[in-house]
Chains A and B, each alone.
Chain A
């Protein structure tokens, strides 16, 4: 399956860095466990943000809830990116050709675009709302898209090994 993969990924898989990940008895499993722990933190933070955007937790104004959850989400996403890179590097040439892995990357891109759209066009209005206010449609759409996209990302991630 490594035949026909883009050269840069084949080179990465064949690098000393990737070999050391594969040959270490603990590095790959540690990256795997770390990826899941960061996933849990990321999903938890996202769930809080998305529920708030959909109109839940309305007893408190949106800004402090979203702000704290956002910080955790960013830290967890950084952790997932780092551990994910280790997992990817070990099998880069193979993963580059895996259809589910490719779909996962596209969905991650969609998730980040959704974040960018919200940040640019909805965040300011949302974070000035008082407690109990109805959420604007742009915020509800962003929350709904976020939940849908990131669950699909997680499902793809778990499915990579089966394709």
Chain B
């Protein structure tokens, strides 16, 4: 009986934590669009990341796992250094000048990252 209570308590606690945190530590209430040339590009797991020189500052843009990027057509070439990108996503509540992209647009073509 004690076991059942412990399991139930943990399930309730973790459930509450997840319900609150959706897509990690990103503020979905303040979406931003970051547009500009790609300065650096890491096509790596667990998430590809690029840095983008936007009009206001240089953003670190977190993308998707590489296998998903490739399956969506957003290959290493698409996010190569020098390409112009527009990334729509949410700013991190933890890391300064970092955002997670919901989708990116390169050469008029959009790629979903979620």
Chain B residues with a Cβ under 8 A of chain A: 2-3, 6-7, 10, 13-14, 17-18, 21, 24-25, 42-46, 65-67, 70, 94-95
SS class, residues of chain A in contact with chain B? helix
* Docked complex Cα distance between A162 and B17 (Å): 9
What are 16 A-B pairs at a CB distance below 8 A?
A: A1-B94, A22-B42, A27-B45, A29-B67, A50-B3, A90-B46, A147-B6, A147-B7, A148-B10, A151-B6, A159-B18, A159-B21, A162-B18, A162-B21, A163-B21, A163-B25
* Docked complex Cα distance between A161 and B7 (Å): 22
* Docked complex Cα distance between A54 and B13 (Å): 23
Indicate whether A25 reaches chain B with its CB closer than 8 angstroms. Answer: yes
Contact B3 A91 (CB under 8 A): no
A-B contact count (CB 8 A): 60
B10 is contacted by which of A19, A24, A51, A155 (Cβ under 8 Å)?
A155
13 additional A-B residue pairs with CB within 8 Å, beyond A25-B66, A163-B94: A1-B94, A19-B44, A22-B42, A28-B45, A28-B46, A29-B45, A29-B65, A54-B2, A90-B45, A144-B3, A147-B3, A151-B10, A162-B24
